[in-house]
Amino acid sequence: MEIKKTTLNGLFIVHPSKFNDERGFFTRIFCKEKFSDIGFKNEFVQSNYSFNLHKGTIRGMHFQKPPYNEAKLIRCIKGSINDVAIDLRKNSPTFLQHYSIELNESNILSILIPEGFAHGFQTLQDNSVLLYHHTQYYTPLAEDGIRFDDPILNIKWTLPPVMVSNKDKSYKLIDNNFKGIIYEL
């Protein structure tokens, strides 16, 4: 397993080692010791499964407000997605920058998203499935989001959006007065 930095401060891509034989393959997707080597000492307390029926579906851009902010480990276990993370940390050198990566069942990559980021994705195939691991429990009163089509963020989605929930469409656009969310870096 190799964990590589991205262009965003604190955001990592997990490259698992794949061991193939006549039965298929085996890979390790999480190792506390390896994650500790990059400074990740949090504990995953909740895992979620997301099934997405249609190609072009967008979910996001979601986060939980402090003190319920959470880190996430995301993996696409069936199909393919364009995964996007946005740095919302007020004092970060990569504030309001985003990072996109294709996660799919073939490349078996994962993305480790730190606290203080918004997260979302677009499905690139029908019947795509994701597995999420969270460091905080889902807290409805702390839930928030940013619009997936915010012009300030200028996210280049791979496909035209075909399905977006009303809730995700209703998140506010960022304006020039947006100061970010205060997280410790």
Picking from 72, 96, 64, 81, the residue whose alpha carbon sits closest to that of residue 179 is 96
Structure token pair of residue 58:
């967008």
d(CA 95, CA 119): 14
Mean pLDDT by 10 residues, the chain (185 residues): 96 95 92 95 97 98 94 98 95 94 97 97 98 97 94 95 96 76 54
| Residue 13, phi then psi, degrees to nearest 5 | -110, 130
Angle at 180 between CA 177 and CA 185, to 5 degrees: 150
Under DSSP, is residue 1 helix (H, G, I), strand (E, B) or coil?
coil
Residue 49 designated active-site:
no
Domains of the chain, with CATH numbers?
A: 2-170 (2.60.120.10)
Residue 68 designated active-site:
no
Query: Which candidate in 15, 49, 54, 132 is catalytic?
Result: 132
CA 156 distance to own-chain centroid: 16
**Sequence-separated (6 or more) residues with CB below 8 Å from residue 3:** 12, 13, 14, 15, 34, 35, 37, 38, 112
pLDDT for 33 equals: 94
Query: Which candidate in 62, 98, 119, 133 is catalytic?
Result: 62
pLDDT for 174 equals: 87
The position carrying tokens 């190609």 is 55
pLDDT for 172 equals: 87
